[in-house]
Structure 1
């Protein structure tokens, strides 16, 4: 009986999808659902910081970070994605590694901040990724995490689990991730909602955070690493 290897299957999936993803990533980052992420990131992470882009894909987010003045290392499970990222970032100084983001080779306290946009949902255990993030990010460091909202079409990738099929998509609600992060030693500093055009027309001023999240295409969290809190470590 063959053992299902999530990481290997995820690599095959993203190798296969690398061309189609590459064809649309620039638009997503420049004018689509990811266009406000870097400016949001800049509000909370100072320029020159060492940043790890977890699940970097074809490296366009890494390119944006490096262009904004950050020292960037991008990590992705897909060899094809890494090749594309390296090609795009030839002149940015960003470096890339092929690794599973739940098992990083980075040393403890090696980086100042993390960017992980729609990547935790593609891992077998988002909790393990949060623990790796906490291990590698300095105390008081930041993590900018994007989670697919309930209205995001990519969530359909997890549907076949209802037929007991193995799927490489571990979707969770934004409020579930927020609770998981809190219980894993992260505190929320800020958040940003991304909505489909139809939802943007709705007034959300009187809605609770949970209701706002329920309308979202993606929810962006800015977290602070609270490890070693109360131990005299700044």
Structure 2
């Protein structure tokens, strides 16, 4: 009998295999590429405090939060990623642990804020991840979450599901995430798009939010946990 598909173990295996490639390009993404606007956007709504960076990869985004004065805990499913992150930093204000986004190894109401960039869509049941983020936040704490948009080529990771194949990527439209968050008690604060090269902000400025989201490589949300 064939073994049943284990999303968690397969995701951990695949991300361990991708760790070297990710490490090679993460700094460029955070400093000049698709993730370069995230920290400035986050800082408009989250000034200081303890932050959990969930799905931290090799920790470069966590490092940027640390440089901005935050106390940071990075978490990733891949032990290889966590090892690379720990090699980068040695400071009491930043640490990295291996763990599952849908079963976080943190106590209730530990953090002032959470950052989760392109990580929720890699969970089998995204709702569980969103609930875990809520659990570890203080009342009134804020979540900065980035979700791959409809024009993102990495969505090819979920494409094979249309053939009935097992995949480890659970892509959503940005408005689907927003609806799920609002239905489950989060307060929507703001959103911002990241577009592919060739699209200028003035070209989309007059569109309503859902149309803007439809053109994005990534949409970044700020949600707040109800006090």
TM category (shorter chain) comes to: over 0.9
* Contact 1:67/1:92 (8 A) holds in 2: no
How far off is 1:149 after superposition?
0.5
**1:232 corresponds to which residue?**
none
How far off is 1:3 after superposition?
1.8
**1:31 corresponds to which residue?**
32
Change in Cα spacing, 1:146 to 1:201, as seen in structure 2 (3 Å) is: closer
Q: Distance in 2 between matches of 1:58 and 1:93?
A: 17
1:213 correspondence with 2:213: yes
**1:98 corresponds to which residue?**
98
- How many pairs are equivalent? 226
After TM superposition, list the pairs within 5 Å mapping 1:1-234 onto structure 2: 1-47=2-48, 49-91=49-91, 93-200=93-200, 203-226=203-226, 229=227
* Contact 2:50/2:111 (8 A) holds in 1: yes
* Contact 1:157/1:169 (8 A) holds in 2: yes
* Contact 1:53/1:62 (8 A) holds in 2: yes
Q: Distance in 2 between matches of 1:79 and 1:182?
A: 33
3-state SS of the aligned residue for 1:143?
A: strand
In the alignment, structure 2 segments of 5+ residues that lack a partner are none
TM-score, normalised by the number of residues in structure 2 = 0.97
Q: Distance in 1 between matches of 2:124 and 2:115?
A: 19
Q: List per-residue Cα deviations over 1:160-199 (Å, max 9, x = no partner).
A: 0011000010000000001011111111111111001122
Q: Distance in 1 between matches of 2:191 and 2:69?
A: 22
Q: List per-residue Cα deviations over 1:128-161 (Å, max 9, x = no partner).
A: 0010011110111000000000000000110100
Q: Distance in 1 between matches of 2:95 and 2:4?
A: 33
Report the more deviating stretch, 89-98 or 184-193: 89-98
Report the more deviating stretch, 85-94 or 127-136: 85-94
Change in Cα spacing, 1:164 to 1:136, as seen in structure 2 (3 Å) is: same
* Contact 2:70/2:93 (8 A) holds in 1: no
How far off is 1:201 after superposition?
6.7
* Contact 1:66/1:92 (8 A) holds in 2: no
Q: List per-residue Cα deviations over 1:60-81 (Å, max 9, x = no partner).
A: 0000001110000011110100
TM-score, normalised by the number of residues in structure 1 = 0.94
